[in-house]
Amino acid sequence: MWKYVNHATESKIYLEIIKYIRKHRNRITIIGTDNDTLARDYDIYKIIMKHLNKSNINFFWAANAHVDDRPLSIENRKWIKDTNPDLKYFCGHYLKKELGHKYCIILSQAYQGTIRYNSVCIGNDCTNRIWTLEYFYKNFTYESNKKYKTKKEYELYEKFGNKLIEFSNSFWLEKSDGHDGGYIVNLIKPKYDYILFFNTVDKLEPY
């Protein structure tokens, strides 16, 4: 799981989750999905429902957009519009519709930190994506989240009044349609149960 350390939306708490999985691997089942499938979010939903163990706690770990109950973004729609024109939502929408209150949505937020990228988006809606040979890092501060800073390392909120700040693996060169360089300010009101807020998203050192 080395490639997920220092990833776009991760912090120290996720490293603890990885350690927990390793420690309890004999009683944990991990379901993988192929990110390159054309109907990615709907495929993830079908795979989850196929393997769902209703007697256990099931943990769906993905970026905010995929976990949340929301429509697909423009850049996500364009990849499937020719082959799956009827698919209009991220995975969380289908899970919430199927499982109702049994599906608890926890989104993550931060005030500041360091983000790792492996590609650059050029053009509106990431018309062209250039993959880089090496990862590069950018620091960010999102002033609108400053009022949620806590004395703790992280805090769980039931209500969150700001537009969400979210990240991609790609650094967006052009500021348009909610994209502000390295991050995205969510223009769609999210449907969540909790916000897991970090004061700072740290760069995790290799170990």
Give the tens place of pLDDT for each residue, 173-187.
Answer: 776 556 666 677 777
Top mean pLDDT of 57-66, 79-88, 164-173 is at 57-66
pLDDT band at 49 (very low <50, low <70, confident <90, very high): very high
State the amino acid at position 119 in one-letter form: S
pLDDT, tens digit (0-9, with 9 covering 90-100), for 130-180: 888 888 888 889 999 999 999 998 899 999 998 898 887 788 877 655 666
Domain parsing of the chain, residue ranges: 31-102, 106-201
Strand 106-122 vs strand 128-141: parallel, antiparallel, or unpaired? antiparallel
